[in-house]
Amino acid sequence: MLETIASVNSAVNNVVWGWPALILLAFVGVFMTCRTKFFQVSHFGHWVKETIGAVFRKDVSGHTQDKSISQFQALCTALAATVGTGNIVGVAGAIMVGGPGAVFWMWLIAFFGMMTSYAENVLGIFYRRKNSAGEWSGGAMYYLRDGLGAKKGCKAIGMALAVLFSAFCFLASFGIGNMTQINSISGNMQSVFGVPTWVTGIVIVLLAGLVILGGLKRIASVTEKIVPFMVILYIIGSVAIFCLNISMVGPVFAAIFREAFSMEAAAGGAAGTVMKLAIEQGMKRGVFSNEAGLGSSVMANSSSNVKEPARQGMWGIFEVFADTIIVCTLTAFSVLSSGLVDLDTGVTAAEYAGTALTKANLVSTVFSMHFGFAGAAFVAVSVMLFAFSTCLGWSHYGSKACEFLFGEKITKVYQVIFVLATFGGAVMGENLAWDIADTLNGMMMLPNLVGVLVLSPVVVKVTKNYVDRKLRGQAVEPMLSNFEDIQQEAAAAVKAGEQ
């Protein structure tokens, strides 16, 4: 039965993640970058100041009294879902399949993906609504229904795409947000500490249940504590390897650029296949890691207490920057500087110390080479924290998709099923879990990117409005929401000095 599922999924995956889809993903990133006049570069200092530079401001990090969450909690919930096994296992897999050149394409898709993420967050805040419980509900399904659907003759297609996105997100939450993450935890716990996968599965069910069933407020409260700790912890470990292998900086980066633009690869044949794999794996793993273009993280960002769509958009830029440009790059350097990858051929060693190397254990092997058992244990703990936090973030995404499709009352049933499904992820085969996640990711991406492209004029207008008011000091009325009641309330708050 599993072989049949794997065969069907592989065929679908090849279609969903084929070159047309990857080209569309890259096109949207380039398009939004150009339309916003390279906002991620031209206003670099501003968005850094208004995101990580403002993290200790009360209006950014202070806990809210209503059903919304703070901007910092929204960031942590979104990063919890994006900074996951893709940063460790995914990067290792990209290098093993696509060689060092895959890292360059991962960087490139992240650079342009910053503005895709920005656009998603702007649209998420601009088209969000409050549900009957007083919680913000936003995401691709809402800007597809209320943005694209509001255009002449597009009501039916807008609603159809919104339903499709929600259905794909609902299913994807069990893949990228559940099976792949928990599978990585159980695999690492078994290989490093000898813990049976079923034992890990039971423990995860209990821990996930305590947090997820408590709703968004509890999820945000936990992620704002886990995410900063886990990211800083992993960065410290990776920087330690960077310092130990500082002499490899030149050869590693030379290999990345050489393999990305290899003239031999462009000549065709087997070498051409290598370059194709480098581009494909770099882009796929980059998207899997930072989720720019999937329309997923916007559901967490839309729950923020922020009033300015552009301000939350800047958090989207920071999320991609932190996730891929920083964390994934550190992982890639650790692997490429270890000696396990031949920088001349791009081939990864088949085994080390008698153990076959896989994408699941490559990074832990690198750390154990430098720090012994403590290094392998460090990676196992990092994977556990990354993956568990991703599971928490994606449970919220799935809940919002479920709410859109079936109503608010069904979300609690979904959460119970999601928690129980973590056990299946713990004992499921590695490759099947990752392949299913890839497929569902791509299926979410397509309707979302249609919405971003069609609604790009809204993003441009909101961005220009923000720049004119905040950076140029012009006296213009703020563009804060598509809905008059929310616009008036938000505008009054902005004038009163709230962000």
Q: What pLDDT does residue 74 have? A: 67
Stretch 225-250: mean pLDDT: 86
Q: What pLDDT does residue 9 have? A: 47
The CA distance from 69 to 396, in Å, is 13
Question: 179 to each of 390, 398, 440, how far by Cα in Å?
Answer: 11, 14, 12
Q: What pLDDT does residue 83 have? A: 63
Tokens of 365: 């092997």
Lowest mean pLDDT among 230-234, 245-249, 256-260, 453-457: 230-234
Query: Does position 309 have pLDDT exceeding 60, yes or no?
Result: yes
Query: Does position 160 have pLDDT exceeding 50, yes or no?
Result: yes
Stretch 173-180: mean pLDDT: 79
Contact (Cβ atoms closer than 8 angstroms) between residue 71 and residue 306 = yes
The CA distance from 324 to 466, in Å, is 27
Pick the closest to residue 115 from 302, 386, 310 (CA basis): 310
The CA radius of gyration of the chain, in Å to the nearest whole number, is: 22
Stretch 249-270: mean pLDDT: 70
Query: Does position 295 have pLDDT exceeding 90, yes or no?
Result: no
Confidence band of 465 (pLDDT split at 50, 70, 90): very high
Query: Does position 133 have pLDDT exceeding 90, yes or no?
Result: no
Confidence band of 263 (pLDDT split at 50, 70, 90): very low
Query: How many other C-beta atoms lie within 10 A of the C-beta of residue 38?
Result: 13
If you average pLDDT over every residue of the chain, what do you get?
A: 80
The CA distance from 206 to 196, in Å, is 16
Tens digit of each residue's pLDDT (9 = 90 or more) over 26-79: 889 999 999 999 999 999 999 888 887 776 665 555 455 555 566 666 666 666
> Which one is predicted more confidently, 312 or 283?
312
Tokens of 420: 């129980």
Q: What pLDDT does residue 426 have? A: 77
Tens digit of each residue's pLDDT (9 = 90 or more) over 390-446: 888 888 888 889 989 988 888 889 989 998 888 877 777 655 555 666 676 678 888
The CA distance from 297 to 221, in Å, is 17
Query: Does position 3 have pLDDT exceeding 80, yes or no?
Result: no
Confidence band of 265 (pLDDT split at 50, 70, 90): very low
Query: Does position 124 have pLDDT exceeding 90, yes or no?
Result: yes
Tens digit of each residue's pLDDT (9 = 90 or more) over 333-364: 999 998 888 888 777 888 887 778 877 778 88
Q: What pLDDT does residue 264 have? A: 43
Domain range list for the chain: 13-495
> Which one is predicted more confidently, 250 or 52?
250
User: Which SS3 state, helix, strand or coil, does residue 134 take?
Assistant: coil
Residue 235 burial (CB < 10 Å; 0-12/13-18/19+)? middle
Q: What pLDDT does residue 454 have? A: 94
Query: Does position 185 have pLDDT exceeding 50, yes or no?
Result: yes
Confidence band of 275 (pLDDT split at 50, 70, 90): very low
Lowest mean pLDDT among 29-38, 93-102, 135-144: 93-102
Element (H, E) at 356: strand 355-356
Which residues are paired to 351 by β-bridges? 356
Q: What pLDDT does residue 286 have? A: 53
Taking the domain 13-495, which CATH number applies? 1.20.1740
Q: What pLDDT does residue 266 have? A: 36
Q: Please give the share of the chain, as a percent, with pLDDT higher than 90.
A: 23
Stretch 263-277: mean pLDDT: 42
Tokens of 239: 């920087």
Query: Does position 165 have pLDDT exceeding 90, yes or no?
Result: yes
Helix 71-82 vs helix 309-320: crossing angle, to nearest 10: 30
User: Which SS3 state, helix, strand or coil, does residue 351 take?
Assistant: strand
User: DSSP string spanning 287-348?
Assistant: HHHH-TTTT-THHHHTTB----HHHHHHHHHHHHIIIIIIIIHHHHHHHHTSSSB-TTT-PB
Confidence band of 246 (pLDDT split at 50, 70, 90): very high
Contact (Cβ atoms closer than 8 angstroms) between residue 281 and residue 97 = yes
Q: What pLDDT does residue 2 have? A: 44
Confidence band of 87 (pLDDT split at 50, 70, 90): confident
Contact (Cβ atoms closer than 8 angstroms) between residue 200 and residue 190 = yes
Query: Does position 459 have pLDDT exceeding 90, yes or no?
Result: yes
Pairing type for strands 136-137 and 351-352 reads unpaired
Confidence band of 464 (pLDDT split at 50, 70, 90): very high
293-304 per-residue burial string, b: 16 or more CB within 10 A, e: under 16: bbbbbbbbbbbb
* Distance spanning both ends of the chain, measured CA to CA: 53
